[in-house]
Amino acid sequence: MRITYLDEEEWPSKYYPQYTIELKNVYIADKGVILDSNFNYIKECNFQYAFWNNLKNTKLMPKNVLSYLKSDIDYGKTIPEGSSENRNIEGAWDVTETLDDKTDYIYGMHYFGWYPYGHHWEVLQPLEKLEFLKPECSKLLVCGVKWDSIKDFDKQLSLFGFPEERVKKIRVNSNEKNPPSCVFIPKLFYSSPACYFTQVSERGLSYIEKCYSSIITPKHKQPTKLYLSRQLAKRRKVKNNKEVEEFLIKNGFTIVDGTENFEKHIELFRNAEIVVGPHGSMFNNILFSPGDVRVIEFCPETRRDYNFRGLGQTRGLDYHWIASPCDKDFNIQINMQTLEALL
């Protein structure tokens, strides 16, 4: 294993040291965990496992990569959350697939075995640190299930330099229908997280903007006003959504419900002067909005999530985060007087 730490001035990140690792003869097992040739947990490569696997265990969940690396906790010996087996992630696994020994594989896996909408930039940002790898000899390793969870994800990967021929899809997450799997990789490159999950670093922001710059969208004669509806989602809806939409449409808003393709999302957000909605991953698209956009996010008061507000702060946006009353399923009631006052 060869670790290369990057220059702190060029790659500033206080709690997320930036490094790349070259690994040989390793395994990717359940939850995307990287194990060495003896099936031992490699700490430097598995921050996302330690974080997500202990999301409900604050005593074990690391706050950032720096605290994780300094911790004495042996995360390889903690029982995986929701595991049907009372076993550690370490130890021999039955190998279900062996990859080509002439290819440099790049780690692009996610703990959940797929890419939750709003979390794909966690995988894409770190790729900048591995641009030195020759395209003709390298491939990105990605989760091969629920591929449509991200709008046109294959097209988006190509914008980051990974067209279909440079992508290798594998399955490593077990569930009630799929038995455990373990993939042997002769040569693997790992890049440390750019920042906290769902966020973008300042450098990551520039990198993402550069990669999406080839998407040309029309400039609207009038700025758009967007309402991000969750009525097609399974949960975290707006109980008085009809009232909200009728009011906003009268005030010139466009309803965005998530069925649009990613080019349309980029177009709408690039032209937005105000974005309103209940907490949800479509807020990630404020990354494409002008610097003077105003954002209003209504979040369930019993499920407070500040991730998108953090993205707004990184960009220096006029961001309003409002805790809203909700039921046990986190369906919220938007206060119409509050909404009208903020417009």
| 3-class SS of residue 138 | strand
Instruction: Provide mean pLDDT across the span 270-295.
Output: 95
Neighbours of 132 (CB within 10 A): 8
- Tokens for 233, please give them: 């989602």
Instruction: Provide mean pLDDT across the span 224-238.
Output: 93
- Tokens for 321, please give them: 């985060």
Give me the pLDDT at residue 156, please. Answer: 92
Residue 86 pLDDT level (bands cut at 50, 70, 90): low
- Tokens for 120, please give them: 């794909």
Give me the pLDDT at residue 193, please. Answer: 95
Residue 22 pLDDT level (bands cut at 50, 70, 90): very high
Q: Answer yes or no: is pLDDT of 174 > 90.
A: no
Sign, CA torsion 205/163/152/178: negative
What's the whole-model pTM score? Answer: 0.90
At residue 72, what is the residue type? D
Instruction: Provide mean pLDDT across the span 65-90.
Output: 78
CA dihedral defined by 305, 257, 211, 296, rounded to 10 degrees? -40
Q: What is the pLDDT of residues 302-316, one digit of tens each?
A: 999 998 999 999 899
Residue 82 pLDDT level (bands cut at 50, 70, 90): low
Angle at 161 between CA 157 and CA 166, to 5 degrees: 80
Q: What are all long-range contacts of 280-284, with beta carbons under 8 Å and residues at least 24 apart?
A: 280/118, 280/228, 280/230, 280/233, 280/236, 281/116, 281/117, 281/118, 281/119, 282/228, 282/256, 282/258, 283/118, 283/228, 283/308, 283/311, 284/118, 284/121, 284/198, 284/308, 284/311
- Average pLDDT taken over every residue of the chain: 91
Q: Residue 49 in contact with residue 32, Cβ under 8 Å? A: yes
| 3-class SS of residue 289 | coil
Q: Residue 266 in contact with residue 288, Cβ under 8 Å? A: yes
